[in-house]
Amino acid sequence: MSAFTYKLSGATHIVTGASGVQMVMLVRKGREYFTDFIAREAKAQKLKVVVNGSFIDLTFAGRVAAVARSAPLDATDSTPTGEVIQQGKLLQGPSSNGKFNFAQNTCGVDKFSAGLGNPSGAACAAIGGIAPIIIDDVPYGATNSYKAGVPAGAPLTGDVDAKYLPFLVQKSNAMFAAILARGTDVGKTAIGFSNSTQTLLVLSQKHGTTGMDANDIRTVFAGLAMSNAVFLDCSDSATLYYDGKFLVSPGAMKNEYLTVAVGFK
C-alpha cells in the first residue's frame, strides 16, 4: 500500500508518496464543478492525492459563457493543451510536440518519467502539454546557463549547438520563464519523481498567497534529488485535494471549466 506524508512549508503544500504509488488520470464529462468532480472521483477510486492537470484552452463559446454566468461549463468547452492517457487509451487532448509530458509508463511499477513531446500512447497514465522543471536530471529555467570555459557565443535562450552542450548546466524554456515572471504570488502545481529514492513529490500553492517563485520550486525538487519534475497548470487553476479534503481550491471561474486532474493512490 502506498505511503503518503504531508507538510506545509510557508504557503506551499508538499506531499510525498512512496511504496507503489499509482497515477490515475481524470477527465471531467458533462456539466459539473471541477471540485465536485474531483471529490467524487477521489472517493470512487480511493485516491489519496488529486491535483489539477493540463493547461486549458477554452472555445469562444466557453469564454463567453464563463464571463456571462456562474455555473459549470460543459466539458466540451475546455480542451487540454496536451494528451491525456489512461491505460494506453487517449482520453482527451491534442498532440503537443513542443511541450513536455509526465508519465507512469507501467501500471504497478513505482517509476515515473518525463520528456519533451507527447507521452507514450501505451502509458499506464500520462499527461502532456506541460512545462519542465527538471528533465532527466537537467534543470530548466528562464535562460541557458553554462559552466566555466564555455566557448564564446553560447546562446542565453533557445536551442544550443553541439559545441556548447558539454558546458550546459541549465536549459531555457519559455513556459518556465512565463511562470517565473509572475513571481511568488501566482498559484503553482508541480509534480516530480526521484529515481534514486523512488519517491513522488507533489507541490501546490494557492493563487494569491506569497510563497515560492518558479526558481524556488526548482530548488526544492533539485534538493530532494528529483530526476524529473514538471509544472502543471498554474495561476488560479491550482488545486490540491489530500486525504479527503481540499487544501487548495481553484478560482471560482476556473472551477466552472477545468476538466483534467491527476490523481495518486
DSSP string for the chain: --EEEEEEETTEEEEEEESS--EEEEE--SB--HHHHHHHHHHHHT-SEEEE-S-EEE-HHHHHHHHH-SSPPBGGGEEESS-EEETTEEEE----TTSEEEEE-STT-S--EEEESPPPTT-SEEEEEEEEEEETTEEEESS-EE-TTPPTT--SSS---TTTGGGEEEEE-HHHHHHHHT-SSS-EEEEEEETTTTEEEEEEE-TTS----HHHHHHHHHHTT-SEEEE-S-GGG--EEETTEEEE---HHHHHH--EEEEE-
- At 1, the pLDDT band (50, 70, 90 cuts) reads low
Domain-wise residue ranges, the chain: 3-149+157-201+209-264
Residues 26-44 have pLDDT tens digits of: 999 999 999 999 999 999 9
Residues 116-144 have pLDDT tens digits of: 999 999 999 999 999 999 999 999 999 99
Is the pLDDT assigned to residue 53 strictly greater than 80? yes
